[in-house]
Amino acid sequence: MDGLAGTRLRALPQLQRLLELPEGRSLTEDFPRVAVVEALRTVLDEVRTALRLSGGAVPDPLALLGRARATLDAAQSPCVRRVINATGIVLHTNLGRAPLAPEVAKAVAEAARGYCNIEFDLETGERGSRTQGIEPLLQRLTGAEAAFAVNNCAAAVLLALSGLAGEGGGVARSSSPAASWWRSAAGSASRT
């Protein structure tokens, strides 16, 4: 390390001095002290690295505290945000699948405000089924004698294929559509 870089590094304020400034005290009022200390350490480490690599001016204490506040604010921001689906895929898994209808979102919000009987049978006081509300609706809708709800397409396809394969049948699965087709075609050819 050359003399100039060493001088610049020594010019960086100590973390404790930053915390003692009014702006530093404000940070510890707005965020947990441990988070503020971690953010300031990160900022100081980044500045030290930059000074060693490319030199430049030492940021003033208020700029360092501002960077720490920006880091802390960003950490508190929700990581899941609304986006516009311009992919052309209506039910996009990576975008949360289908948006909920307003009345469904309202019912979910109402249920989520407290405890609910998601897996509790109110009549018997015993453990219930998560699908107790949907099964009768699916039976009525489809005219089926039984119904079952799952939370993703892969599970639904596996259940449907298992049902179609029947007793003793099997379902070949693969992450590759071509491999799945090949296995099923090879299985059909060997049975004929």
pLDDT in tens, 149-175: 887 888 888 888 888 887 777 666 666
Q: What is the mean pLDDT of the chain?
A: 85
Does the pLDDT at position 182 exceed 60?
Answer: no
Whether the per-residue pLDDT at 35 is higher than 90: the answer is yes
Q: Give the pair of three-digit tokens for residue 82.
A: 């609304």
Which residues have C-beta within 8 Å of that of residue 100, sequence separation ≥ 6?
108
Per residue in 60-107, pLDDT tens?
999 999 999 999 999 988 888 889 999 888 888 888 878 889 999 999
Which residues sit opposite 97 in a β-bridge?
A: 92
Per-domain residue ranges of the chain: 3-76, 93-191
Mean pLDDT, residues 114-142 taken together? 89
Instruction: For residue 80, give the DSSP letter.
Output: -
* Confidence at 37, pLDDT banded by 50, 70, 90: very high
Q: Is the pLDDT of residue 19 over 90?
A: yes
pTM, 2 dp: 0.51
Q: What's the rounded mean pLDDT across residues 34-56?
A: 91
Q: Is the pLDDT of residue 187 over 70?
A: no
- pLDDT band, residue 192 (cuts 50/70/90): very low
Q: How far apart are CA 65 and CA 36, in angstroms?
A: 9
Q: How many angstroms separate the Cα of 130 from the Cα of each of 114, 147, 149, 150, 158?
A: 17, 13, 9, 10, 19
Q: Which residue carries 């009014």 as its tokens?
A: 22
- CA dist 138 and 124 (Å) reads 23
CATH of 93-191, one of 3.40.190.10, 3.30.70.120, 3.30.1490.20, 3.40.640.10: 3.40.640.10
pLDDT interval class at 113 (50, 70, 90): very high
Segment 107-127 mean pLDDT: 91
Are 72 and 35 in contact, with CB atoms under 8 Å apart? Answer: yes
pLDDT value for 157: 86
